[in-house]
Amino acid sequence: MACGPPSAASGPLPFFQFRPRLESVDWRRLSAIDVDKVAGAVDVLTLQENIMNITFCKLEDEKCPHCQSGVDPVLLKLIRLAQLTIEYLLHSQEFLTSQLHGLEERLRRSLAEGEHSKKLLTKQAGEIKLLKEECKRRKKLISTQQLMIEAKASYYQCHFCDKAFMSQAFLQSHIQCCHPEESHLEYKTRAQMDKLQSEINMLKEQLQLTKSQLEAAQHVHAVKFSKEYEMQKTKKEEFLKLFDRWKEEEKEKLVD
């Protein structure tokens, strides 16, 4: 199964070019490695320690210490293809790691913004509560005054002081003259409550939108990470199969 490059939807692809092979093979170090033991124990650390030398070593000039003959062309082609495959996998791993860090940073910022909106919503809710309590107190006072007016229809009681008047017009004139600040405060309080309620509704909508965006981003991140993991796993399996096939061919050559 062929595996393509990382999707361009995850971000702009960086420039990639295969490096030249200039390093010498560290035969002493390689000869000390027990490949079967590495495979059996899944010794990833040993692979990491030798991956750069194996990937970027130059084999064209290597000769057999016994017969001084060069590397078989077909075997050399196989090894070079394996080197190019490993180099591309390293490049893909670095690119995907960078993309993952970017997504994690975006998620962190979104969570911080959501937390800020939540705190602001809590603050606004507290202010609304205080205004509602004030309105409740004033409504109770107004209700009491209305009951008094109904009981004593002969006069109109001022709800800011103890004075009473013979008509509603006199009462309104008295309030405008003697209680302008209280009257303005009542109107201003009602207007502030309406404004804050509108802001609370807007913040609730923003918080819900942020929550939905975070959930969508987390889902996309999880799906993308799963796909990339399966892609890397498949590439690794193909490389191991290719390597096992090469070992079998080498064994057959030795037997022949």
User: Looking at residues 168-190, what average pLDDT do you find?
Assistant: 73
**Amino acid identity, residue 243?**
F
Weakest mean pLDDT among 24-38, 102-116, 136-150, 186-200: 136-150
- Closest residue by Cα to residue 83 from 144, 22, 172: 22
Tell me the percentage of the chain whose pLDDT exceeds 90. 0
Q: How confident is the model at residue 184 (pLDDT cuts 50, 70, 90)?
A: low
Whether residue 189 has pLDDT greater than 80: no
The runs of H, that is alpha helices, within the chain are 27-31, 35-41, 44-56, 73-151, 168-178, 180-255
Give 18's contacts (C-beta < 8 A, 6+ positions apart): 84, 87, 88
3-state secondary structure at position 165: strand
pLDDT higher for 159 or 92?
92
**Amino acid identity, residue 162?**
D
pLDDT recorded at residue 42: 87
Q: Report the distance separating Cα 127 and Cα 121, nearest Å.
A: 10
Contact 237, 39 (CB under 8 A): no
pLDDT recorded at residue 243: 77
Annotated domain spans of the chain: 72-255
pTM, whole model, 2 decimals? Answer: 0.40
Q: Report the distance separating Cα 233 and Cα 208, nearest Å.
A: 37
User: Looking at residues 77-106, what average pLDDT do you find?
Assistant: 87
Taking phi over 0 as left and psi of -120 to 50 as alpha, with beta for the rest, 2 belongs to beta
pLDDT recorded at residue 67: 65
User: Looking at residues 212-216, what average pLDDT do you find?
Assistant: 88
Q: Report the distance separating Cα 25 and Cα 222, nearest Å.
A: 40
Contact 55, 83 (CB under 8 A): yes
pLDDT recorded at residue 54: 82
